[in-house]
Chains A and B, each alone.
Chain A
Amino acid sequence: MILLQVIAAGLLLGAVYALFSSGLALIWGMMNFINFAHGEFVMAGMYVAFLAVVWLKAGPAGFTLAAACGLFILGVVIYFALIREVLRGPMLAQILSTFGLALFLRYAAFFIFSPNFVTLPQTALTGTVDLDGIYLSVPQLVAGAVALILTLALHLLLSRTQLGSRLLAVAEDREAAMLMGIRPDRMQALAWGLSAASAGIAGALIALSFPFSPEVGGSFVIIAFVVVALGGFGSVPGAMIAGLIIGLIESLSAYWFGPVYKDVVVYGLFVALLWLRPQGLLGTQ
């Protein structure tokens, strides 16, 4: 019974991993660009949610929305201020840019909010649900469900709508898309906004049930790398399935080997994956 509970909790957390990792996959797929600050976007989402609760007395829906909007704006601003130029530059500049951004965001939070762990003040979402002997906390259940729905929505947006086709057209061939009357700059800015918003929402959802500090971004970004590598780079559906798998693996390894080793197992999996199957489980290359 405990094992089932561990599996369920792992899948719920995995759904949130899937959400922010699909944001990373979107940027990778569109621009062949890895955002080293993606974990810091998740962290920023947590603190935006925290401020929305403290200042505006926002409820769970309110602060999640605040994190989404706040991070969307941050993503667009970062695209125009930094990424647009850097994309034309050498690889050194591409990697340094978001690496510097990660450092900047992490220590800005460190400076503003202090390095201590905080938890969101008590929200309306409390209690546990008893599913035939499996006890799940309501915040985790809601977080998992919302994350799963939003990841699916992102996938549908990319594959079923005209906006999604435009985004993919820019990804495929920038010049050809331009000739078809699509503005690549706007589309890429939109992708950065969506990617950052997915991380922000994921941050708010994680903050529902876990304490956080400015340093949490460091492990989220590596989790996103593992998920994206497992799912095949640039694939949102791949990231969705891989996110669930990683959440499950993390939860099971915490249960079997102790909580300290859950990151060790996941990071080790990444190295093994690079050796054995660099194109990911679902990818073809």
Chain B
Amino acid sequence: MRWRPFALAAALLVYPLLFRGAFYQDMGALVLIQATSASAWNIVGGYAGQVSVGHAVFFGAGAYLPVLFYELWQLPLFVGVPAGIAVSLAFAFIIGLPTFRLRGHYFSMATIAVAELVRLIVSNSGFLGGAIGLMGPARPRGWWDLVFRSAVPYYYIFLAVLGLVLLATWQMERSRFGYYLRAIRADERAAKSLGVPVSRYKLYAFMLSAAFTAAAGSLYIIKTGFIDPESGFGILVSVQMIIIAALGGAGTLLGPLLGAILLVPLQTATNTWFGGGATGLTYIFYGGIIMLIARFEPGGLIELWRLRIAPLLLRRRGDAHAP
């Protein structure tokens, strides 16, 4: 079983070399961005079991700060990336510190309220471009603006960042931090009674997740060069992270990547088939999938495979070998 992650990594590395069409390379880059933000959501939503429904606030901060720095001081986009991460950490602290002392659904309610609050403020502030949004450099002034004609350089930058996020998650999974988070998810009171500093570790997970989500937002602005309140802070940005992580498998290392590989091409295909009218249908479908996952298999496809399909296959193989 150990070969599977390596096969996946190899496939991701050679993908843009095998699929040379601009459409496929663009889609590959999109898959990686979505996988990055969903993997980041997964740290707090999956491993710690604290479901954020407002992660768009971090994605938006990561996308807006670089382009704001460009707007104000003509700085290259990547200079603003640390600022986006810093603002996201501040937001995570503001939301997390009061709500993680309380149990239950307070945290989820606070995340959606803060995301909507920030979206409203940004849409109404001329300083941040209002409802129209902000644009990066229209024409590259040098290599440092990171404007490429092909999607391939972006693809490999995104792959490196995704690799970093997954490596961090993998390290976390095997460390004391990871065990604490899973203990909190399984039973918060029991974890507390065994001496796990529950609220502190929930906050750490949330801040780590926020920082990585901001990084995904920065990747988005570096590639598209344009951001508006809806594509930065809109509720559908959060929905996208949640459905990708939950479909693949929340609380597993590779679940979000799997979810992105399945869902992003499907979404691109439905958008081209139905044209603009697809938006309603796509999200009806998404809502349906989210409800089905919640109702039947909260562990997503990876759990479905582990618990239902793999044992079935093993049993069948066992029968075949039986005399």
Contacts and interface: CB of A to CB of B under 8 A. Distances in A.
Interface of A: 32-34, 36, 82, 85-86, 89-97, 99-108, 110-111, 218-219, 221-222, 225-226, 229, 260-261, 263-264, 267-268, 270-271, 274-275, 278
Q: Which of A103, A219, A271 has the most CB of B within 10 A?
A: A103
Contact of B49 (A91, A105, A218, A219): A91
B287 A105 contact: yes
Contact of A95 (B53, B98, B239, B284): B53
B171 interface: no
A100 B117 contact: no
Interface stretch (B147-155, B220-228, B290-298): B290-298
A21 B279 CA distance: 30
Nearest to B236: A103
B293 A96 contact: yes
Contacts, number: 148
Nearest to B293: A96
B294 A97 contact: yes
Interface in B270-323: 279-284, 286-291, 293-295, 298
Contacts of A226: 113
B108 A95 contact: yes
8 contacts: A34-B105, A82-B291, A91-B105, A92-B294, A94-B294, A95-B105, A96-B246, A274-B102
A36 B295 contact: no
B290 A103 contact: yes
A246 to B, nearest CB: 13
Given A99-B242, A111-B281, A260-B124, A92 B298 contact: yes
Given A90-B185, A92-B51, A271 B295 contact: no
A101 B98 contact: no
Contacts of B290: 96-97, 99-100, 103
Q: Which of B45, B288, B291, B293 has the most CB of A within 10 A?
A: B291
A30 to B, nearest CB: 14
B198 interface: no
A108 B288 CA distance: 11
Contacts of B106: 274, 278
Contacts of A260: 120, 124
Contacts of A261: 124
A85 B293 CA distance: 12
A267 B294 contact: no
A20 B109 CA distance: 17
Contact of A267 (B45, B94, B113, B283): B113
Interface of B: 45-46, 49, 51, 53, 94-95, 97-99, 101-102, 104-106, 108-110, 112-114, 116-117, 120-121, 124, 185, 235, 239, 242, 246, 250-251, 279-284, 286-291, 293-295, 298
Nearest to B235: A218
A107 B287 contact: yes
A92 B299 CA distance: 9
Contacts of B108: 34, 36, 95
Given A91-B51, A95-B105, A278-B98, A100 B294 contact: yes
A261 B117 CA distance: 10
A257 to B, nearest CB: 11
A253 B294 CA distance: 39
A107 B108 CA distance: 21
Contact of A271 (B105, B113, B289): B113
B231 to A, nearest CB: 16
Contacts of A95: 51, 53, 105, 108
B235 to A, nearest CB: 7
Given A104-B287, A271-B117, 8 more contacts: A36-B108, A94-B294, A100-B293, A103-B284, A105-B287, A221-B112, A271-B110, A275-B97
Contacts of B293: 93, 96, 100
B235 A268 contact: no
A92 B104 CA distance: 11
Contacts of B116: 218-219, 222, 263, 267
Contacts of B121: 264
B109 A104 contact: no
B294 A106 contact: no
Contacts of A99: 53, 242, 290
Give me the 10 closest cross-chain CB pairs, A-B, nearest first.
A100-B290, A104-B287, A103-B287, A111-B280, A97-B294, A107-B283, A100-B291, A267-B117, A93-B298, A34-B105
Given A100-B291, A104-B291, A106-B283, A92 B113 contact: no
B281 to A, nearest CB: 6
Given A96-B293, A100-B294, A36 B98 contact: no
A268 B121 CA distance: 11
A110 B280 contact: yes
A274 B108 CA distance: 12
A89 B298 contact: yes
Contact of A263 (B53, B120, B294, B295): B120
B98 A275 contact: yes
Given A34-B109, A106-B283, A93 B295 contact: yes
A38 to B, nearest CB: 11
Contacts of B99: 274, 278
Contacts of A100: 286-291, 293-294
A270 B113 contact: yes
